[in-house]
Amino acid sequence: MILDWLVYGLIIWALAIILNKTAFRDKPAPRSIAWVLTIILFFVNVVALSILKFLRYQLISENLGAKITPNAPLDMGGAFVFAYLFFTLLNKKAKAKEAIAAPTVPINKKEISTGGILNKQSDDDQTNPIIKKPFENRFLEEGCSQEAIDYLKNPIHIYSYMQKYKKTEAKILEAIKKGKLRGCYVNEALWVENKKF
């Protein structure tokens, strides 16, 4: 039985990897598609594992000379385990709730953004000003200030950051407080640097 499960587990793993490399390579599977595939695979698992169980018992019966039958002919536990394995290995979209969760960390705006921070120049400012201008104009049109652009180098609005990097607002604010990410307020809107932490 353990050997059957190991071989079958490798087959399920290979199936998930093949789907991730072909059908879901460029774009992750929507969660609804992932669930449908998992349910279909559950029923395939029930049939395949039950056939393997029947063949194993038949082989043992022939070797012993006595008829042995399983107590439960359907292998529902194994089917569930392998369906769950398939679902976890499948490249699927993240839950939408995580990206728009409400903040749980209280914010003190003066802690994150002070007047002195915005005027401070960073040591890593090596950006070519000719290339930088079109991007600065876009950020200015979106409501970011020139001081914030100079401080953050490559700013992004917090809600765009949450969608791009799949982080909650609370985690972003915590990263700012710990110094892992730069951020500042411009007209009550939080802008952060566009990098993963």
Residue 44 has pLDDT above 90, yes or no: yes
Q: pLDDT value at position 111?
A: 47
Task: Find, among 159, 150, 149, 193, the residue nearest to 175 by Cα.
Answer: 193
- pLDDT, greater one: 81 or 101: 81
In whole numbers, what is the pLDDT of the chain averaged over residues? Answer: 77
Q: What is the pTM of this model?
A: 0.46
Q: Residue 17: its pLDDT value, please? A: 92
pLDDT at residue 116 tops 80: no
- Cβ contact 160:140 at 8 Å: no
Confidence of residue 100 (pLDDT cuts 50, 70, 90): very low
- 167-188: average pLDDT: 87
Alpha helices in the chain (DSSP H): 2-21, 31-64, 76-89, 96-99, 109-112, 115-119, 129-141, 146-152, 158-165, 169-178
Q: Look up residue 42 and give its two tokens.
A: 């559950």
